[in-house]
């Protein structure tokens, strides 16, 4: 897939382009005053043509699908054309020998941003592309990358393919390849988070501050529960008791029908899915906690109530939902310290010094 010149930004339409910059500014928490700076950085990026290589391993390609279906703003176009996406075998026009040449060319030049979608089988013979182990391909490309981004649960920790019993011993990028990477959890990845992460890399030339699971703290620093539009119902003890009942129509809290929002760290209510139209809880489905490592087995029984959460005003149980969030947050903070010792992201992008408050557990 060949790339573009600065006219692409005009082709994207100035309004859409600025909308992407505005959304990115909101997600990065830098305020709308940063929009001109983001726009300028992206325009400069076109001239530099930062190379992006997207490798697919064991997954259903749902993250690529999520990316190319987003039209408002057209983030796919931004990544495909504004940034130089050299290789993505699912959507590139080239095939066979031609696509392999493109891939090898990118490898030879090096210094690309490597995006990996899909889990990596660590057992020999369980995941091959063109007679090569996915594991070996991943190692080869990660070694020459400027930064590595794992998109979606499969790439961050193994995801659905790594659910018990996991005969192929599928793992996420960090564990399988032994490299540091930015983990963009969620199933599928939220395209807004991906674009904001790429823009942040371009703006600062540094990786963002990460939590213990390698997730940018700016997007994964608070629980779904803390940002949920149904939270007032939770506090007031108004719950959906079963699907199909009146409470469902009234938009009550979904905790009793399995919502894992108190244990899941992500900002889904903010950016939403499907062109920002809606998100799981907004559409009436309990959160299944897909932002968390191990969610497939850990949260199995997706419609079963999460144990140990105090229901306000009704039961005096073990721990409140906020406390549960704090426990998970404290574990994250321990991970942050470990992470700070070992992180270099392939040694090229430096990690941003974590802000003071980053070491604290979310409140």
The single residue among 27, 142, 199, 290 that binds ligand SF4, judged by CB under 6 A, is 290
Minimum CB separation from ligand SF4 for residue 93, in Å? 31
Residue 155, interface with ligand SF4 (CB under 6 A)?
no
Q: Which stretch binds ligand SF4 (CB under 6 A): 47-55, 204-212, 221-229, 324-332?
A: 221-229
Residue 228, interface with ligand SF4 (CB under 6 A)?
yes
Residue 293, interface with ligand SF4 (CB under 6 A)?
no
Q: First CA to last CA across the chain, in angstroms?
A: 46
Residue position matching structure tokens 């950085």: 41
Minimum CB separation from ligand SF4 for residue 270, in Å? 10
- Where do runs of H (alpha helix) occur along the chain? 7-12, 14-28, 35-48, 62-68, 75-77, 96-109, 134-143, 152-156, 173-177, 191-204, 217-220, 231-235, 246-249, 268-271, 295-298, 321-342
Residue closest to ligand SF4 (Cβ): 261
Minimum CB separation from ligand SF4 for residue 178, in Å? 27
Residue 220, interface with ligand SF4 (CB under 6 A)?
no
How far apart CA 112 and CA 198 sit, in angstroms, is: 12
Non-local (6+) Cβ contacts of 13 within 8 A are: none
Minimum CB separation from ligand SF4 for residue 225, in Å? 4
How far apart CA 163 and CA 250 sit, in angstroms, is: 35
Question: Buried b / exposed e across 45-68, counting CB within 10 Å, b at 16+?
Answer: bbeeebbbbbbbbbbbbbbbebbb
Minimum CB separation from ligand SF4 for residue 248, in Å? 11
- β-strand pairing of 145-151 with 170-171: unpaired
Residue position matching structure tokens 């540094």: 206
Non-local (6+) Cβ contacts of 313 within 8 A are: 236, 237
Phi-psi region at 51: left, alpha or beta (left = phi > 0; alpha = psi -120 to 50): beta
Q: Which stretch binds ligand SF4 (CB under 6 A): 5-13, 126-134, 174-182, 223-231?
A: 223-231
Minimum CB separation from ligand SF4 for residue 184, in Å? 12
CB 335 within 8 Å of CB 212: yes
Q: Considering only residues 244-263, where is the footprint of ligand SF4 by CB under 6 A?
A: 253-255, 259, 261-262
The single residue among 53, 181, 264, 296 that binds ligand SF4, judged by CB under 6 A, is 264
The single residue among 287, 311, 324, 336 that binds ligand SF4, judged by CB under 6 A, is 287
Judged by beta carbon, residue 45 or residue 268, the one nearer ligand SF4 is 268
Burial of 95 (0-12, 13-18, 19+ CB in 10 A): exposed
Residue 225, interface with ligand SF4 (CB under 6 A)?
yes
Count how many residues are written for the chain. Answer: 363
Minimum CB separation from ligand SF4 for residue 290, in Å? 3
CB 336 within 8 Å of CB 355: no
The single residue among 67, 102, 160, 186 that binds ligand SF4, judged by CB under 6 A, is 186
# residues near ligand SF4 by CB under 6 A: 24
Q: Which stretch binds ligand SF4 (CB under 6 A): 67-75, 142-150, 159-167, 224-232?
A: 224-232
Judged by beta carbon, residue 237 or residue 355, the one nearer ligand SF4 is 237
Q: Which stretch binds ligand SF4 (CB under 6 A): 121-129, 133-141, 229-237, 338-346?
A: 229-237
For residue 43, how many other CB atoms are within 10 A of its CB?
Answer: 14
Minimum CB separation from ligand SF4 for residue 277, in Å? 14
Residues that bind ligand SF4 (CB under 6 A): 186, 224-225, 228, 230-231, 234, 253-255, 259, 261-262, 264, 266, 268, 279-281, 287-291
């Amino acid at each position: 897939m060949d790339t573009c010149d600065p006219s692409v930004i005009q082709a994207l339409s100035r309004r859409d382009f600025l909308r992407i910059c505005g959304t990115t500014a909101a997600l990065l928490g830098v305020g709308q005053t940063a929009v001109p700076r983001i726009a300028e950085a992206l325009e400069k990026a076109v001239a530099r043509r930062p190379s992006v290589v997207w490798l697919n391993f064991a997954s259903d390609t749902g993250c690529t699908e999520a990316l190319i279906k987003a039209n408002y703003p057209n983030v796919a176009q931004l990544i495909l054309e504004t940034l130089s996406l050299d290789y993505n075998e699912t959507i590139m026009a080239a095939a066979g020998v031609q696509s392999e040449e493109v891939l090898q060319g990118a490898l030879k030049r090096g210094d690309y941003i490597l995006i990996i979608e899909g889990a990596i089988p660590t057992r020999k013979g369980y995941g091959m592309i063109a007679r090569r182990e996915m594991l070996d391909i991943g190692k080869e490309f990660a070694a020459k990358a400027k930064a590595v981004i794992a998109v979606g649960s499969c790439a961050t920790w193994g995801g659905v393919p790594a659910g018990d019993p996991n005969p192929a011993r599928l793992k996420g990028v960090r564990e399988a390849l032994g490299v540091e990477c930015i983990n963009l959890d969620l199933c599928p990845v939220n395209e807004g988070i991906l674009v904001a992460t790429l823009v942040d890399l371009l703006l600062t030339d540094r990786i963002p501050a990460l939590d213990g699971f390698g997730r940018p703290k700016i997007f994964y620093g608070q629980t779904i529960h803390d940002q949920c539009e149904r939270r007032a119902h939770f506090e007031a003890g108004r719950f959906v008791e079963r699907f199909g009942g009146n409470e469902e129509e009234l938009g009550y809290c979904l905790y009793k029908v399995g919502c894992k929002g108190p244990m899941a760290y992500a900002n889904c209510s903010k950016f939403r899915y499907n062109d920002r139209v809606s998100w799981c809880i907004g559409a009436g489905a309990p959160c299944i906690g897909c932002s968390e490592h191990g969610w497939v087995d850990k949260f199995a029984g997706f419609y079963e109530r999460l144990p140990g959460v105090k229901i306000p005003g009704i039961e005096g149980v073990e721990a409140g939902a906020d406390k549960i969030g704090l426990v998970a947050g404290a574990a994250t903070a321990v991970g942050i310290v470990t992470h700070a010792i070992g992180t270099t992201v392939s040694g090229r992008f430096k990690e941003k010094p974590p802000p003071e408050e980053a070491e604290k557990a979310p409140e």
